[in-house]
Structure 1
Amino acid sequence: MLIIHGIVLAKSIPAKKYGIVTGESLLEARQKCPDIVIVPPNYNLYMNCSNAMVSIFKEYFPVIQRYSVDECFLDYTNMNKHFGSPIQFAHHIKEQIYKELGFTVNIGISNNKLLSKMASDFEKPHKVHTLYPYEIEEKMWPLPVGDLFMVGRATKAKLHKLGIYTIGELAKTDRNLLYSHMRSHGYLIHDYANGLESSSVKSASPKAKGIGNSTTISFDVEDARTAKLILLSLTETVCMRLRDSNMLAKVISINIKSKDFISMSHQIQLSQATDITNNIYISICKLFDEAWDKEPIRHLGVRVSMLTSNVNTQLSLFDCEKYEKLTALDESIDKIRNRYGRTSVIRASFLHSGIRPLNGGMPTEDYPVMSSIL
């Protein structure tokens, strides 16, 4: 008997036709399509492709906003005189990306970010779509309400209870009725259903408020030791990024999802901000012991926030010596890993455990295909 664990992080266009959706278990996906091909994710590959695509954008655009690993907003204001109409240029850059990088992109065009994003999700792949305000009624309103940005599963269920099944029906619904059931989120999705959104394209990323890592586990974790090993592997990568950013964290939090994907979170505020892996992991274990309800676990996350600069850190006399030793240890390990590879130094507890010593974020696998792209 074949047992499949994990969830669908993204589905291909053919898989979508079988009713496979993001977030469902791989077992459910296999039941819908027995011949489905399941490919493990590799964040490093995605980021390399994303960076290569952005490099092409930088040849043309002064303002680029990276929205996610595979989405960007580009401001075409005053660009017509250089590259022609938005539609003409969209076809040009779409073909350039395919020719130089080997993958396809969909491009959505409109006068605001919401409508351009909605347009980019129309028929795929390798297409250019427009969704200007005068096209909303024809192109967007007939779509299922769940296709609207910011309408997730829970919101969709609430809307269905109100008899709202299409984006057009949502657009014509009384705002006060939506507010009474969903508070301010009702106003937001009503605006979106009518194509109303006014944020500008911003190239500068906001200052990070926190650093986190998480992983979906390929099996049910039913014991604390295994869970804490996975949490340690996540803490290792989070703390390396924290030190690389020259920041300290004062708030530590964890997220646990059961095999039924019921989520619970727990956090603690430290008396002293830190970037030391050992100190943060001690807090992580304490949070886990307080939060876990003994239900089998399928997803774990670690996050640090309330970040401050590590310059001029104030310590008590009694903490100073221990702090210096642990800091020196972390710095030495970071230098070795950066020079010889992320797994060149690992903790003995991971030996023969079957658990990756540094989890989440960017895996270390090499993909030779990238050498022909970048």
Structure 2
Amino acid sequence: MSETPTYRKIIHIDMDAFYASVEQMDNPSLRGKPVAVGGSENRGVVSAASYEARKFGVRSAISGVLAKKYCPHIIFVRPRFDRYKEISSKIHKIFHDYTDLVEPLSLDEAYLDVTQNKKGNPSASLIAQEIRQRILNEVGLTASAGISVNKFVAKIASDYNKPNGQKTVNPDEVESFLEDLPIRKFYGVGKVTTEKMYQLGIFTGTDLKARSLDFLEKHFGKSGVFYYHVVRGIHNSEVKPSRTTKSVAAEHTFDVNLSSEIFMLEQLERIATSLEKRLKRHTISGKTVTLKIKYSDFTQQTRSKTLPYFISDKSLIMETVEELLYQEKMKDSVRLLGISLSNLNTEEKKAVVVQLKFTF
């Protein structure tokens, strides 16, 4: 007699247009209107767009100029990251009422492993529904969820019924769900890879599944192995509660382009002050200082130096930044400057997590 297969129960929670939704919640005059967080009609990049703005084609990462062109009546709002962190903290406290196996991906999304959970609820779908309702009642925002046997499928499913919806892909539905999925919807398949797959005649999960492992390795290298397995519903990555910080950064986009190194140093001092505060708050130091420069033509350059010792003080950071700034001549006026510290003193602590698996 064959054993009943065992599966993990994974939920992916994704807040709906998080930054823009927080702004609309805090400012009722913005509700129902197209809002872009970040950017402006003259410059800058959009960090997030409300659903009202998305109808016009406004998306995160496009320029404010383009956003204004797509939607002439768009309202630009300056981002308030401290507020977003505050709200995110409240949401994560709700997650931890159900499980300690919570892996944050960003302020607005996380994976939860509820195979075993604090409520003793055998239904991952009902848990997701309850969490979404609590976020709405206690925070005032809507969230969407994907529920399935692994992180890959749950991530894709959470986008299925957005906004304010959820989708469960049961164990016996995983392969057919992935077979029917357009290849551009596969998590981890970006624009460039999608175009390459189209050229190879791969448009859906079914097309991908029909390709051999050798074929996918030949055309996509190590990623080919990943594609081969995930389209078959095989993705064994566990939900990891602790994500190690690999770098800490601060940057600023200027209203007027800078053309003098003297003015740049003044701004870098301010950026370094902000970076130092973050480092001190989390007792982090690092050895590698990187200066990020974005020019007026949007080309980007990074210059790095690794020191033989850990630093976190603004004075030591600026000493290295100044050296990097004068390392070579600027090729154009500058619209953005940033400083990051990596090669940190945060050693990764590998916790052994035993995840018991039960019938879904």
TM-score by length of 1: 0.72
Between the aligned partners of 2:212 and 2:345, the Cα distance in structure 1 is: 45
Name the counterpart of 2:202.
Answer: 164
Partner of 2:221: 183
* Aligned residue in 1 for 2:173: 135
How far is 1:57 from its partner? 1.8
**Which residue of 2 is the match for residue 51 of structure 1?**
89
Using the TM superposition, give the Cα deviation of residue 128 of structure 1 relative to its aligned residue in structure 2, in angstroms: 1.4
Q: Which residue of 1 aligns with 2:20?
A: none
Q: Distance in 1 between matches of 2:219 and 2:300?
A: 23
C-alpha displacement of 1:72: 1.5
Is residue 2:243 matched to residue 1:205?
A: yes
SS in 1 for 2:103: strand
The answer for the alignment partner of 1:312 in structure 2 is none
- After TM superposition, the structure 1 = structure 2 runs for residues 138-149 of structure 1, keeping only pairs within 5 Å, are 138-149=176-187
State the shift of 1:144 in Å. 4.2
User: In structure 2, what is the Cα distance between the partners aligned to 1:41 and 1:193?
Assistant: 38
Alpha-carbon spacing, 1:204–1:252, altered in 2? closer, same or farther (3 Å): same
The answer to which structure has the higher helix fraction is: 1
1: distance between equivalents of 2:303 and 2:338? 11
SS at match of 1:97: helix
Alpha carbons of 1:280 and 1:115: their partners in 2 closer, same or farther (altered >3 Å)? same
Query: Does the Cα contact within 8 Å between 2:249 and 2:340 map onto a contact in 1?
Result: yes
Amino acid at match of 2:320: S
User: 2:290–2:305: 8 Å Cα contact kept in structure 1?
Assistant: yes
Which region of structure 1 is more displaced relative to structure 2, 24-33 or 95-104? 24-33
TM-score, normalised relative to structure 2: 0.75
> 1:159·1:165 contact (CA, 8 Å) conserved in 2?
yes
Q: Distance in 2 between matches of 1:94 and 1:267?
A: 43
Q: Is 1:105 the equivalent of 2:143?
A: yes
Per-residue CA shift, 1:297-316, capped at 9, x if unaligned?
3433211123349xxxxxxx
- Equivalent residues of 1:109, 1:130 under 8 A apart: yes
Q: What is the CA-CA distance between 1:101 and the residue it aligns to?
A: 0.7
Partner Cα separation in structure 1 for residue 239 and residue 150 of structure 2: 9
* 2:292 pairs with 1:255: yes
Counterpart position of 1:70: 108
Please, which moves more after superposition, 95-104 or 30-39? 30-39
TM-superposition CA deviations, 1:79-127 (whole Å, max 9, x none): 4972352222222221111011100010110111111111111121111
Among all aligned residue pairs of Structure 1 and Structure 2, give the percentage whose two residues are the same amino acid. Answer: 28
Compute the displacement of 1:61 (Å). Answer: 1.6
State whether residues 107 and 128 of structure 1, in contact with CA within 8 Å, keep that contact through their aligned partners in structure 2. Answer: yes
| 1:34 alignment partner, SS class | coil
Note the residue ranges of structure 1 that are not aligned, 5 or more in a row.
310-374
Match of 2:131 in 1: 93
Mark the CA change 1:9 to 1:248 in structure 2 (over 3 Å): closer, same or farther.
closer
Match of 2:70 among 18, 32, 56: 32
| Structure richer in strand, relative to its length | 2
Amino acid at match of 2:267: I
Contact persistence 2:99–2:118 (CA under 8 A): no
Distance in structure 2 (CA, Å) of the matches to 1:263 and 1:141: 39
Counterpart Cα distance in 2 of 1:133 and 1:290: 56
The amino acid across from 1:119 in the alignment is A
Aligned pairs, number:
307
Q: Secondary structure at the match of 2:116?
A: coil
Contact 2:41 2:68 in 1 (8 A): no
Q: How does 1:1-374 map to 2 (within 5 A)?
A: 3-79=41-117, 82-136=120-174, 138-206=176-244, 208-290=245-327, 293-308=330-345
**Bigger mean CA deviation after superposition, 79-88 or 191-200:** 79-88
Indicate the SS of the match to 1:82. Answer: coil
Q: 1:127 to 1:308 in 2, by over 3 A?
A: closer
2: distance between equivalents of 1:171 and 1:98? 39
| Structure-1 separation of matches of 2:337 and 2:198 | 32
Q: CA deviation at 1:132?
A: 3.7
One-letter amino acid of the counterpart of residue 153, structure 2: L
1:150–1:189: 8 Å Cα contact kept in structure 2? no
